[in-house]
Copies of this chain bind each other. A is one copy, B any other.
Amino acid sequence: MTERPLILVTNDDGITAPGIRALIDVMSEIGNVVVVAPDKPQSAMGHAITINNTLYLNKVSAEQAVVTEYACSGTPVDCVKMAVVEILHRKPDLCVSGINHGSNSSINVIYSGTMSAAVEAAIEGIPSIGFSLCDYDWNADFTPTKEYIRRIATEVLKNGLPDGVLLNVNFPKLAEDAIQGIKVCRQAKAMWMETFDKRKSPSGREYYWLTGEFVNQDNGEDTDEWALNNGYISVVPVQFDLTAYHAMPQLQNWKL
């Protein structure tokens, strides 16, 4: 037997979230797990990093615990950076982020702290996967995802991932026997149509809450939205080279 892989686990819902507990359970079966996760919810933080404030890092697991856990005051991306530099002192063999309480399919990949943590790990050259369940409930049932997560993580540990690529895995909110399988997909062209809920504070000052409706403008059967709506687990390979290569010839013709 070869040595057990070193696996970094993080998320954006915070270290106490049931989703990360489920992920820690699965990863503990296949490797040595270190958890570095935000000390409070950090959803929708995107790829934010903390440069204008101090960062705190506290070991929260007991000395005799099997899994070492740290709570970090920063964003999900800060967690990955601190884990690699201050705690592990080397690249882990795998970084997994989640399981997010709620979808990170289609355009949500851009806003998601869960996915940004996974992207950060990939930038640093670590094989990396973000997992999300399409159920925003704190008490969501993560049980149906576990066997699939184990299989996907094992496959990534075995095969690696192409340079500059990580995985965005989303689970439909379904019982295990209702899940149709796994589909490799592209990111659907979808967006949020925002509305702002305008209110008045007790002192009479106007303030807003950001709310919105998810609008999928893409009927492609090769998309993550289609997969999820049809009972499949969606796996989208994600890259952080944002260059729109196809647009370069057009721009080169401009008179600049």
Decide if A51 is an interface residue (CB 8 Å cutoff). yes
Given contacts A46-B48, A162-B244, A162-B250, contact A86 B208 (CB under 8 A): yes
**Chain B residues whose CB sits within 8 angstroms of the CB of A165 once the complex forms:** 244, 247
Chain B nearest Cβ from A156, distance in angstroms: 9
Q: How many chain A residues touch B (Cβ–Cβ < 8 Å)?
A: 80
A78 within 8 A of B: yes
Instruction: State whether the Cβ of A55 lies closer than 8 Å to any Cβ in chain B.
Output: yes
User: What copy number does this chain have within its complex?
Assistant: 2
Contact across chains for B46 and A116 when beta carbons are under 8 A apart: yes
A62 within 8 A of B: no
The reply to whether the CB of A25 lies closer than 8 angstroms to some CB of chain B is: no
| CA distance in complex: A57, B198 (Å) | 11
**What is the CA–CA distance of A113 and B9 in the complex, to the nearest angstrom?**
26
Indicate if the CB atoms of B243 and A236 lie closer than 8 Å.
yes
Which secondary structure characterizes the binding site on chain A?
Answer: mixed
Task: List B contacts of A168 (CB < 8 A).
Answer: 242
A243, B187: Cβ atoms closer than 8 Å: yes
Which of chain B's residues have a CB closer than 8 A to the CB of A47?
Answer: 46-47, 110-111, 116
How far, in Å, is A100 (CB) from chain B's closest CB? Answer: 14
Question: Contacts A184-B248, A240-B242, A244-B239 known; A155 to B255 CB distance under 8 Å?
Answer: yes
The reply to whether B189 and A241 form a contact with Cβ atoms under 8 Å apart is yes
A78's partner among B110, B210, B243 (CB-CB below 8 A) is B210
- A238 CA to B246 CA in the complex, in Å? 10
Q: Of A37-45, A63-71, A137-145, which binds chain B? A: A37-45
- Known A50-B210, A238-B243; further 15 A-B contacts with Cβ < 8 A: A41-B52, A44-B49, A47-B116, A51-B210, A55-B210, A57-B208, A81-B210, A82-B196, A84-B194, A86-B208, A107-B240, A110-B119, A167-B251, A186-B241, A186-B243
List 16 A-B residue pairs with CB atoms under 8 Å apart, sorted by A's residue number: A44-B52, A45-B46, A46-B47, A46-B77, A46-B116, A49-B210, A54-B199, A56-B206, A57-B206, A78-B210, A85-B196, A184-B251, A184-B252, A186-B248, A236-B243, A239-B244
